[in-house]
Amino acid sequence: MPEGDALHRAARRLQVLVGQELEVETPHPRAAVKQLAPRLNGRRLESVEAIGKNLLLRFDGGLVLRSHLRMRGRWRVLERDAAVFGTPWLVLRGARHTGVLWNGPVLELDRGVARRLGPDILAAPPDYDAMRQRFRATPQARAIGDAILDQRLVSGIGNVWKVESLWAQRISPWRALADVSDDELRAALASAHELMRARLDGVPGTRHVYRRKGHMCPRCGTPIKSWPQGDEARMAYWCPQCQKGEDPPAA
Ligand SMILES: [Zn+2]
């Protein structure tokens, strides 16, 4: 699944189209019905920005196109006249390059999305104070491992980075926000930022607990546990020894 860092790489590549008036096509029928091409064709692309797991393309006239890649979407930047394979959702053709989106199940014109999303974990630097305010405004009985995936509180943290950053800071994903201090919250968010930033810069990383149920914790040797967490039942992994706290009832 594309995580926030994949989106930021796509945003970087698409910068070659910024400032140009683009020829816009939507070859895929499910994209064509959205009537995007008639509204965007010939407009100038003003910016491309990754916010969390969303790519926002701002066009002149105040139009913002939001692309979310879900499981299979991907962006590529090709030479302008390169052959485009398959049936892409979106083709953005500039003077020398063409940006192509395949499998983009979420593609919509949207003015409010940037306001609804929490601060971007990959911003340089991230706005930790704004994140803290959002975390403290949500019900404090929520587990931190659930809240940290909530894109309205902080955008861009996926399951891998949630699990690894909470392990790095010795915070159980099952602890209620009420029992997590501001300093601990900030440390967990900063860990996620550093881990994801390193990945964005191409530094290979090691997964210490993600998908390592039953393996020894690299820090203390205790077997790693796993249990689904949150409304979407994403699998949490944690070390019951160095991430102390009450485990979920059946784990
Ligand atoms: Zn441990």
Q: What pLDDT shows up at residue 1?
A: 44
223 forms beta bridges with 216
- Structure token pair of residue 234: 């994403």
Whole-number Å distance, alpha carbon 239 to ligand 1 midpoint, is: 5
Q: Give the count of beta carbons closer than 10 Å to the beta carbon of residue 246.
A: 11
Give the pLDDT of residue 69. 76
pLDDT at 200: 75
Query: pTM of the full predicted structure?
Result: 0.66
What is the mean pLDDT, run by run of 10 residues, along the chain of 251 residues? 71 94 88 81 90 85 82 87 88 95 80 73 90 96 95 87 96 97 98 88 84 96 95 91 84 59
Distances from the Cα of 248 to the Cαs of 29, 63, 75, 160, in angstroms?
45, 45, 39, 19
Q: How far does residue 222's CA lie from ligand 1's centre (Å)?
A: 5
CA distance 178 to 131: 15
Residue 3 tokens read as 């995580």
Task: Give the residue among 183, 182, 172, 165 at the shortest CA–CA distance from 144.
Answer: 172
Tens digit of each residue's pLDDT (9 = 90 or more) over 69-92? 776 788 899 999 898 888 898 999
Per-residue model confidence (pLDDT) at position 190:
98
Q: How far is the CA of 64 from the centre of ligand 1 (A)?
A: 45
Residue in the block written with tokens 């944690």: 238
Q: Give the amino acid at 53.
A: K
* pLDDT for the residue 250: 66
Residue 89 C-alpha to ligand 1 middle, in angstroms?
Answer: 45
Radius of gyration of the chain from its Cα atoms, rounded to whole angstroms: 20
- Could you tell me the sign of the dihedral formed by the alpha carbons of 146, 149, 150, 152, in that order? positive
- How far away, in angstroms, is 217 Cα from ligand 1 center? 5
Strands 234-238 and 90-93: unpaired
- Kindly give the distance from the C-alpha atom of residue 198 to the centroid of ligand 1, in angstroms, as a whole number: 23
